[in-house]
Copies of this chain bind each other. A is one copy, B any other.
Amino acid sequence: MKPIHLAALAVAIASCALAAALVVRADGMEAGSASPIYGVTIPNGYRSWELIAPAHEAPPLDELRVVLGNPVAVQAYRNGTLPFPDGAELAKLAWKHVPSPEFEPASIPGAATTVQFMVKDSRKYAATGGWGFGRFINGKPADEAQHRTCFACHQARVKDHDRVFTRWAP
């Protein structure tokens, strides 16, 4: 093999390695980072998504929560579109509900507890109303038993709102 071919081979190998690295980064995936049952992973950039609404969860959970939506979900909310279209994604961020040290009547976010996602893909998740679910604690998916509870509750309580509890905060 001539030197020029060796050089080309080296470049090709380096390119492949770079491409592989980029694929991993673009997915944001590591082994074990997807939710059981659904295979939902934490979407890149979800913390910058638009506000749908806050909520307060009473004790024993005792949490402050905010639901954010990606642009597809926000557009559906603004237009009153039901069911949500494929590509809609919702994120629910939760923190412990702790007293503000600076303003007595207020409670504010303490430690983050869970981050949860609903991802609409009507073909992939046909058996669960088109929704895939993912619940994450410290960036790691919760176990399968926890994920078995998601759809049953959403289906039983808010089927008529396409299995989504949260309404747009006016």
**Measuring CB to CB, which residues of chain A are less than 8 angstroms from any residue of chain B?**
47-48, 50-51, 53-58, 61, 64-66, 68, 93, 95, 97, 100, 102-103, 105-109, 111-112, 157-158, 165-167, 169-170
Contacts and interface: CB of A to CB of B under 8 A. Distances in A.
Given A50-B48, A51-B51, A51-B66, A56 B169 contact: no
Contact of A97 (B47, B48, B56, B111): B56
Main secondary structure on A side of the interface with B: strand
B167 A108 contact: yes
Contacts of A95: 169-170
Contacts of A170: 95, 109, 111-112
Contacts of A106: 55-58, 165
Contacts of A66: 51, 54, 66, 169
Nearest to A108: B55
